[in-house]
Each structure stands twice: as structure tokens, then as C-alpha cells.
Chain A
């Protein structure tokens, strides 16, 4: 058997293409800060200064800096940095891709200047992706590291004794939201910011994200899964979140890898008070640290255990949303949660002198049932040709811009108007009776078009006729009574 060897060095275009990663600007900046945190000098505080303007984005840290060789290696795709630096501690960096992917997703010109401690020199690299792509040799991955004497107070390193500055210009996006970056970093580096480290963005200090929890109660998570410890907490937010900003923030080595994960709870407005944070150092993040590798056995087990762990709080969240007429619903939900978790017994429940013998996890009494906002009315039967369509209506909550809508059941031919109690048409009008008739008339029209294939003029005729009948029957009924 013959064999030949081939050089499979990738095309230099890969350095550009890696910037097509799914990074948004805040995430890319966050990824660069991960390197700063990994570069902590001895046990000192890490200070990161981010500057953002229309021309460039720079991230400067007071980390231990890089030697000439380490800087060159840092630019290698998929570099095994631990073997180069001799590092033995856990790091946020995993694949040797973050620096390049983040820089390339932010802009086309990168300048990295670094100064190690106890070294009079600073080392720098400049990469312009436009020029990089013009290289004739498509296998030429060489980068030029410049060495120069560091003059204190000058250049990108400025007054720092040691540290690194990454400056990206020729930005892909010119409209940068500083507030979004601050918010993202406040969540992404919360564990660091609650400790000794500091991050500033355009001189504004980033503060760790603060959760506003019902009764300020945090429930600790400390469970062992297959020899690994999962730690963290969960609680109930004082507000529901229609925006999707609820669920569990998952950290790995103190860096946020997945925000608002909902794999352990049912994604629903009713569960949207459930918030929390866990640390999963033993599960690998995916390439761009935009999530975890969810195909592993470890993840499957974490999901199973966490789902079980969060069941009581999901239930409590739902109960707080349902029993809006109950002034004690918040206190009850929390006590119910405490009972479910075995933190208190049923007898311990007391709500400011109001006794309540049942727990929140028992079936609600009939009189305490959640408020039904369904109310029905059977107006009359709609006759179109030979067909007789029963029409009814309900009052419900829909998107506030929808005044009313309809549902049609094809099997039984049941037509139902749904009047939205959240719409301005409803809230600003006292004649709800008229609204119901208008909604029914619109249902007749929508039904005629969608389910009977009527054209607009025919559907409008059906609507007008029905509305006329409905209003005249109302007048007759009123004059009789």
C-alpha cells in the first residue's frame, strides 16, 4: 500500500472567519475580560479598564502580562496555553480561541501590548485583517512581535507595572451600547465583582447584578452529582418577567456561560419569578462559551437533579401569579415553599395574625380559587345558508393591542369571540355589552373569511347583518324590561 503526506495547514482566512462567531459586542468584550481574570498577578486584585468609543474598543488589565513567546502563542488558533505558560490552575480559557474570536468579531485591526512583571520591555503585536488577507502565501501564519522598552506613563500600558492592553479598531459596529456592556459584565463577572476585582467601562464602575427577591429569601443549592458538587442558590423574583430574563444563570470558573437557562423549569410566564445562579465547573462549555455541552452524561444528570430541586419554587412562582386576589399570596407562596423544602412545618405558618390551616400546596378551597376571568354568554345561533353556528363569547387577557379575537372549532362548528380585558377598547369603555356585540360581529366576519372562504364584501355583509340583529335585539330587550 502506498501513502503520501499532505500539508493541511489551514488557509489564513480562518483568522477572519473565526470572527463570524455568534458573539454580540458585550459578549465579545466579556470574553476578552476572561483572559484578564485568568492572568491574575499572584493573588492581587484584577483591575480591568474598558474603553468604548466610535473609533475603538480597548480592554486594559493589570494582570501578569505576557512574555514575547507567550504573546505569540496567544495568537495561535487553538493554542494550548497551559503547556506554554506552565499554568496549573483552573482557567476560563479552554480552547485557545477566545481572544482571536472575540477580536475578529469586534473589528479588523487589533493591537495587543503587554508587559510582564519584572521586565523592562513591553511586547506588542498588530494585526490588520485587511492586510492579512492580502498575503500571497495562504499558509503564512507568521506574526511579528515587536519588543521595545516600556516608558512608564506612555503607550497603551501607561502607568501599569505589568498588564496587557487589547485595542480593537476598524470596528464592525459603530453604534455601541455602553449600558448594555455594563449590564452584561455586571452579570457575567458577578462572582469576581462581589470579591476583590473591579471592572470599569468608560470610567464607570461595573456593579454586580442585584436580584430583588421576595422577602430577600435565597435558597442555597449544594448537591452532589456523581462526585461533583453543584453549588448556588435560587429564589423568587418580586416581579414576573415577560422578557425572558428569568431562570438560572450558570457559571463556570466564575464566568457566566449561560444566562437565564430554562432547561430546569418550564418556560412560562407563570415560572418567570424563578431566578438563581449555579456553578458548574465540571461541565465543558461549548467553543464560544455561549452555552454548555449538553450532550454529556454529566449535563443529563445535572438537568435531572436541578429539575427536581426547583420543582417547589416553580410551583410557588405559579401560585403567586394565580392567586392575585389574595393579599397574602406572596407570604403563602414562600411559606409553602419552606414547607415543601422541609425548612418549617405546617404548624409554623402564621401570617401576621391571620391563621391559615391549609398549606399553599393543598388544593385551594372553592372560595379561594384563582379568579376566573372567563365569563360566558350564549348570544344566538349564526345562520349562514343551511348552517347553524353556535356563537359564544369569553372575556380573557390577550396582548393589549388586540381588542378582540375569535376561536373556531372545525369539528363541532363552535364559534367563540374572545374579548380582551387588557385592551384600551375594553378598559376605556363602559358599555361592555356593546363591545361584546362588536367582538361577536368581528368573529362572524373573521370566520366567514377564514373558514367559509368568503370574500371581504360577503364577510362584511355577514358581519353587518349580524350586528344589526344583535343591536336591535338588545333594544327590544331593554324596552321590554
Chain B
């Protein structure tokens, strides 16, 4: 009953989307996100109506989840859309650094890389980079532990063993491998194989994994 019926649910969304130029950015983000959730449309359907890519609409929705105060920091700025995902996951300090960087460099070759650099400079390594910094034996141990606890599929275990060799030979994980490793290690944590109170005599390794993943 609260979702709108009839054409209103589309027109409200389209109207708010089209007000990008005339509305402060933070208000525009809130309005679009609000109208999207009220419309009951799927991401793909809504993106079709708006003649945009689903990823761009998702980035707006992610931005709308920022704390109001943080979103308000973006009021006077219309950041390039390729920076929206980065901004949506940044801390308050990261956001401020990104805004400064965008204001200083009006014509960056790639706004995405500019903002990425500014946020990283303030926030330090992110989860994936911390994972990339793990020692080789940690990946091997994680693979053995997954086998012992009957966790992960064959591909996952193979990947962990592969990364053990890769890191031992001096190579670092590629960004896509970091993301995959994040998912695998998180599965081990959620299944209870990696904990702060390990009874398997591997507390140091467990702690390193948990620290890298950002667990307390």
C-alpha cells in the first residue's frame, strides 16, 4: 500500500533522476534512492527507465547509505560518477580528502584514480591490501584448515595453495585475487575455523587473518 501504484512510481523516479543539474548532489542522491526503493522496481528495470547503467544507479544507492553528515559534505560538489562507489565506502576523513583532491585538480586524467589515491593516503591500506600483505604460509595454512574442517570447494582450496606458492616466490596477489581471497578467508571465519580463541595451536595465524579482514 505504501509502494506507489500506476505510473507514479516510474515518473517520480525519472523526475528525481533528471534533476541532477538543478539539485544539490546530496539531495539528489537521497531523492533518487528514496524513489527507487518506493518504486518496487528491480535495479535493472529502473536503470532501463532512467536510460542509465545499473551500476551507476547502484552507486547512487550506495551513496545514499552514507551518514547524513557525510553525504552533506558532497552537497556543493558533483563528483564524477566513476568516483561514486569509492566515495560511498569512504570514511569521513577519506571523503574530505577526496573532495579536496577533486577541487584542487579540476581536470584530472582519471578522477577515479585521483579519488582512490586521496582516500588511500588518508585511510591507509584497505582490507584487500592487508590481505595482499599476508605471509605465504598463512594461505597454505588456510588451505589445510579448510580441508580439515571440510570447508570451501576444491577451487577455493586450490586457489589458497596457489597463492601460497605465488607469495613465496615473491609475487603479490593481483587485485582480483585479493577480492577472491577476502571471500574465502571470510568463509573460514564465519564457519568458526579461524577465531580469536583457536584451539588448534594456530592463534598467531588466526589473528593475522582476522586483523587483515578487519575483525575485532
Which residue of the partner chain B has the closest CB to A405? B55
1/0 per residue, CB under 8 A from A, across B18-57: the answer is 0000000000001001100110101110000000011110
Closest to B109 in A: A390
A366: contacting residue among B82, B123, B213, CB under 8 A: B123
Q: Is the interface of A mostly helix, strand, loop or mixed?
A: mixed
State the B residues within 8 Å of A (CB). Answer: 1-3, 5, 30, 33-34, 37-38, 40, 42-44, 53-56, 58-59, 61-62, 64-65, 67, 80-82, 84-86, 89, 91-92, 107-113, 116, 123-124, 126-128, 155-156, 158-159, 169, 171, 174-180, 183, 186, 211, 213-216
Bound together, the chains give a CA A405 to CA B59 distance in angstroms of 12
Q: Would you call A392 an interface residue if the criterion is a C-beta within 8 Å of the partner chain's C-beta atoms? A: yes
Given A398-B58, A405-B53, A407-B56, are A268 and B2 also a contact pair (CB < 8 Å)?
A: no
A-B contact sample (9 more), CB < 8 A, given A266-B64, A412-B80: A262-B2, A367-B214, A368-B216, A375-B175, A402-B54, A407-B53, A412-B110, A416-B82, A432-B180
Name the residue among A258, A260, A411, A430 with the largest chain B CB count within 10 angstroms.
A430
Residue in A closest to B6 when the chains form the complex, CB atoms: A22
Asked whether A412 lies within 8 Å of B54 as measured between CB atoms, the reply is: no
Q: A373 → chain B, closest Cβ, in Å?
A: 7
Q: Is A394 an interface residue (CB 8 A)?
A: yes
**Residues of A contacting B159 in the complex (Cβ-Cβ under 8 angstroms):** 430
A321-B67 Cα distance, complex, nearest whole Å: 13
Taking a contact as CB atoms under 8 Å apart, the answer to whether A366 and B91 are in contact is: yes
By the criterion CB–CB under 8 Å, are A260 and B65 in contact?
no
Is B65 a contact of A407 with CB atoms below 8 Å? no
Out of A370, A408, A430, name the residue touching B89 (CB < 8 Å). Answer: A370
Task: Take A367-B214, A430-B158 as given contacts and tell me if A411 and B128 are in contact as well, using a CB distance cutoff of 8 Å.
Answer: no
| Contacts from A to B (Cβ < 8 Å) | 22, 27, 244, 247, 258-262, 266-270, 290-291, 315, 318, 321-322, 325-328, 354, 363-364, 366-378, 390, 392, 394-399, 401-402, 405-409, 411-412, 414-416, 418-419, 421, 427, 430, 432-433, 435-436, 446, 481
Q: How many Å from the CB of B185 to the closest CB on chain A?
A: 11
Summarize B's interface: helix, strand, loop or mixed: helix
Contacts of B155 in A (CB 8 A): 430
B32 to chain A: closest CB distance in Å? 11
CA distance A161 to B58 in the complex (A): 60
Tell me the smallest distance from the CB of B107 to a CB of chain A, in Å.
7
A408 and B213 CA atoms in complex are apart in Å by 31
In the complex, the answer to whether A327 meets B34 with C-beta atoms within 8 Å is no
Known: A244-B37, A368-B214. A407 touches B1 (CB 8 A): no
B residues within 8 A CB of A244? 2-3, 37-38, 40
Could you say which residues of chain B place their CB within 8 Å of the CB of A407? Answer: 53, 55-56, 59, 81-82, 84
CA distance in complex: A261, B89 (Å): 28
Residues of chain B lying within 8 A (CB to CB) of residue A398: 43, 54-55, 58
Q: Which 10 A-B pairs have the closest CB atoms?
A: A432-B176, A405-B55, A390-B110, A267-B37, A418-B55, A409-B80, A414-B82, A372-B89, A416-B82, A399-B43
Quick one: which of A258, A363, A368 contacts B1, CB cutoff 8 A? A258
